A and B are shown apart, each in its own frame.
Chain A
Amino acid sequence: MTRKQRNFYIFPTKNNKFKHKSLSIGREAEITVKLKNNTVVLDDTDYKILEALQEDAKQTYMAIGKHLGIAHSTVYDRIKRMEQKGIIKKYTAMIDAEKAGAKNITAIMTIYTDPKESERVAEKLCEAPKVLEVYTSLSEELQIIAKVVAQNQESLHDFIANSVAPLPGVLRIRTSIVTKKFKENQFLMANDPQKLRFIKEIHNKLGEDKP
């Protein structure tokens, strides 16, 4: 990953919630991805285009087409379709904040909540600009896990004390401040084992040698 590589996101999400209900193999090598109130059908070429864009979103339709052995107009049409359907959410730049001079600290909050209020707590967290990611998790208790950035420890504490702890349903909070980042990446289509298994099955069906 280069320092300022363009990056893009897939699948539309509203408040980080998306329903990825089915991933089924069709006869024409298609995967049906059912999104909330929407249905999109992707085939192997679409996935390859997505992979190519995740590698480098700045490359031209011509370059992607050449790499995949398809016409650049096909690449254009498919990218436009995936943009319209919200599969490609946006194109953005991945910036190394530290090198760019930002002195922010990152922390991971684990928020234990009353199950009846957890959805509302998660939604409120999503509204805060300091909160970058929000997840719910079920272990022994219902938890919300959130990644948060702040200028310093004092600002982090103020945010949690004034904006998170007072939310109805918050039972307690554990916060870990990140001291060193070893890896940060987005989900890559190429690393999706379910998708790779799907492609392998398709190729087996077609009797090809290589997955």
Chain B
Amino acid sequence: MKGEVTPKVIKTVPREKAFYFFTSIGNYTGNSASSLKEFMEKINEVNVKSLEFHLYRGDFEKWIAEVLEDKELAEEIRKLQKFNLVGDTLRKQLYTIILGHLKYLTR
């Protein structure tokens, strides 16, 4: 596995398959991500309300599993729901999980 990358994770998806960050039903922030790397960067930028909104609806895990086809990361993010995290604690946890996963994939 060393040196190998998972193409679905590294590749950039077309805009219609990108992740669009909302703060509530129908309220789009203007931030989107077309790759896992971009997704991680946006985690640090978007309104934390958007992270809370999507995490507890299961949107993150769904996009990661269905579009990026990374079941492992999707499962890690799904587990995060159990801790009822909010605010910057949630932001940090999400960022750490994705960063760690990216490092694992590109090690």
A160-B28 Cα distance, complex, nearest whole Å: 8
A157 on interface, CB distance cutoff 8 Å = yes
A177-B25 Cα distance, complex, nearest whole Å: 9
Question: Given the complex, which residues of B lie within 8 Å of A170, measured CB to CB?
Answer: 28
Q: Looking at the assembled complex, report how far the CB atom of A159 sits from the nearest CB atom of chain B, in whole angstroms.
A: 9
Interface size on A, residues (CB 8 A): 20
Q: Are A157 and B25 in contact (CB under 8 A)?
A: yes
Of B12-20, B35-43, B85-93, B96-104, the stretch lying at the interface with chain A is B12-20
A173-B18 Cα distance, complex, nearest whole Å: 16
Chain B interface residue bracket vs A: 10 to 19
A206-B22 Cα distance, complex, nearest whole Å: 61
Q: Are A173 and B26 in contact (CB under 8 A)?
A: yes
A197 on interface, CB distance cutoff 8 Å = no
Question: Given the complex, which residues of A lie within 8 Å of B3, measured CB to CB?
Answer: none
B106 on interface, CB distance cutoff 8 Å = no
Known A166-B20, A171-B30, A177-B26; 7 more pairs at CB < 8 Å: A157-B22, A157-B26, A160-B22, A161-B22, A165-B32, A166-B32, A175-B27
**Which A residues lie at the B interface, using CB under 8 A?**
107, 109, 112, 153, 156-157, 160-162, 164-166, 168, 170-175, 177
